[in-house]
Amino acid sequence: FQGVSGAGGVALGRAIILYPPADLGSVPDREAEDISDELRILDQAISSVRSEIRSLDEKMHDSLMAEERALFSVFLRMLDENALPAEIKELIRDGHWAQGAVRRVIEKHTALFAQMEDDYLRERVSDLKDLGRRILACLQEEDSSHRELSPDSILIGEEISTAALVELPVDNIAAIVTSEGA
C-alpha cells in the first residue's frame, strides 16, 4: 500500500474511525410493495437532505471560502426535482423500492464520474456517494450526523467527504487518513 500525503508533518492523537451513516453497497434489489408509498418516503428523504445541506451551508458560511462552499450548491442542484430524484422516481415507478433505486442511481453516476478524465471531477465520487448515503440514511431513518470529537482526533475512514468533514469540529481534528477520496 502506498499513500499520498495531503500535508506534511506527523500527528499524534486519538484514532476515530468514521463509518458512513448508511451503506449503499448493502442495499439489496427488492420490489416495491406500494409504489406511491415509496415515492412519498423518497420525497420526504430528499426534503430532509436538502434541509440538512442548507443548514451545513449556513453553518460553514464564515468558515469556508465561496469555492469550498460551492459543493453545497452542487448538492442542492443534484437534488432538484429534474436531477437525481427524477431518475430515482423512474426506477420506483418501474417497481423498485426507494432504497434500491437510490443505490442504483448513485452507482450509475459514481461509475460515470470515476471514468472522467478531469482529476477534480473524478475525486468528487466520494462527495456523490456521501449524498447518496445521506438520502439512504433518511430513508432508513438513521441519524447522519457525526459524533463529537475529542481534541487531537485522527479521523480514519474509507472515504470522508467534504460535506461530512464540515459537520465536524475542525479545531479538534489533528489528521485525516482515508483509503479513497480526496
**DSSP strand pairing (173-178 vs 14-17):** unpaired
Write down the pLDDT at residue 8.
Answer: 77
Give the homologous superfamily in CATH for domain 14-20+31-178. PtsI, HPr-binding domain (1.10.274.10)
The model's pTM is 0.71
Write down the pLDDT at residue 135.
Answer: 95
Q: Give the CA distances from residue 164 to residues 71, 93, 131, 134, 137, in Å, rounded to whole numbers and listed in that order.
A: 12, 31, 10, 10, 13
Write down the pLDDT at residue 144.
Answer: 45
Q: What are the sequence ranges of the domains in the chain?
A: 14-20+31-178
Rounded average pLDDT per 10-residue block, the chain, 182 residues: 71 81 85 94 96 88 78 90 97 97 96 86 84 92 62 84 76 85 56
